Amino acid sequence: MTKFEDAIKHITGRIEKMINIDEKTLEKIITLFFNANNIFVYGAGRSGLVAKAFAIRLVHLGFPAFVIGETITKPVKKGDLVVLISGSGETIPVTMSAEIARRLGAKLISITANPDSHIARFADLPVILKMDEKNAELAPLGTLFEVSAWVFLDGIIAELMARKGETEDSMRGRHATLQ
């Protein structure tokens, strides 16, 4: 077996074990999305790329979604939802965003691997993607967290899609025509 095959097997095998969200937590997450005036997402580095991909899908679903730090992002206010993504939960710009969002009265979902982290403590709803092992040779520098966060958030998109009665065709109508 090649290192490539080993890595794929390792990563796909870990994803399902890391994403272990019960139905009650899922309901709370979905409720926060439907009750939000606006939705803001943020992460740094590769977690930031996951956040941006999630924001795009939210827009495709018709949610008013923004990426924190972009020049056209609205100000966060009370009644908004902020979703922060950080494996360590201690990345400085992400922790600062958690503190500011809390101070402004926004609801906060944190997605992290560290249940004792800064962003988990500030969150109304911390989502912990459980990492119980590391294998730098097959999944270096946070790969397992980032891949699991992406899959988790795509699962949230599927649930939101179903509950809104959206289809790929209706979402395609909100897809960017210039990129």
- For residue 77, give its domain range: 3-170
- Residue 133: the pLDDT is 67
Assigned domain for 52 exists = yes
* Whether the model pTM is above 0.75: yes
* Number of neighbouring beta carbons within 10 Å of residue 126: 21
Residue 50 lies in a domain: yes
Active site residues: 146
Give the closest residue to 119 by CA, choosing from 54, 27, 56, 43.
43
Residue 175 is assigned to a structural domain of this protein: no
- Report how many domains make up the chain: 1
Q: Does any domain span residue 115?
A: yes
| Beta bridge pairs of residue 85 | 43, 111
Q: What's the confidence (pLDDT) of residue 179?
A: 67
Q: What is the pLDDT of residue 146?
A: 95
Q: What is the pLDDT of residue 149?
A: 97
Residue 176: inside a domain: no
Separation between Cα atoms, residue 132 and residue 59, nearest integer Å: 34
179 lies in some domain: no
Residue 177 in domain:
no
User: Is 147 part of a structural domain of the chain?
Assistant: yes
- 156: domain CATH number is 3.40.50.10490
Whole-Å CA distances, 112 to 38, 101, 122 = 22, 17, 12
Report the pLDDT value the prediction gives residue 134, as an integer from 0 to 100.
Answer: 67
How far is Cα 47 from Cα 66, in angstroms, rounded to an integer? 15
119-151 pLDDT per residue, tens: 999 999 999 998 866 667 888 888 999 999 999
pLDDT of residue 137: 83
Going residue by residue through the chain (179 aa), what tens digit of pLDDT does each one get?
899 999 999 899 889 889 989 999 999 999 999 999 999 999 999 999 999 999 999 999 999 999 999 999 999 999 999 999 999 999 999 999 999 999 999 999 999 999 999 999 999 999 999 886 666 788 888 899 999 999 999 999 999 999 999 988 888 888 877 76
Distance CA 85, CA 12 (A): 20
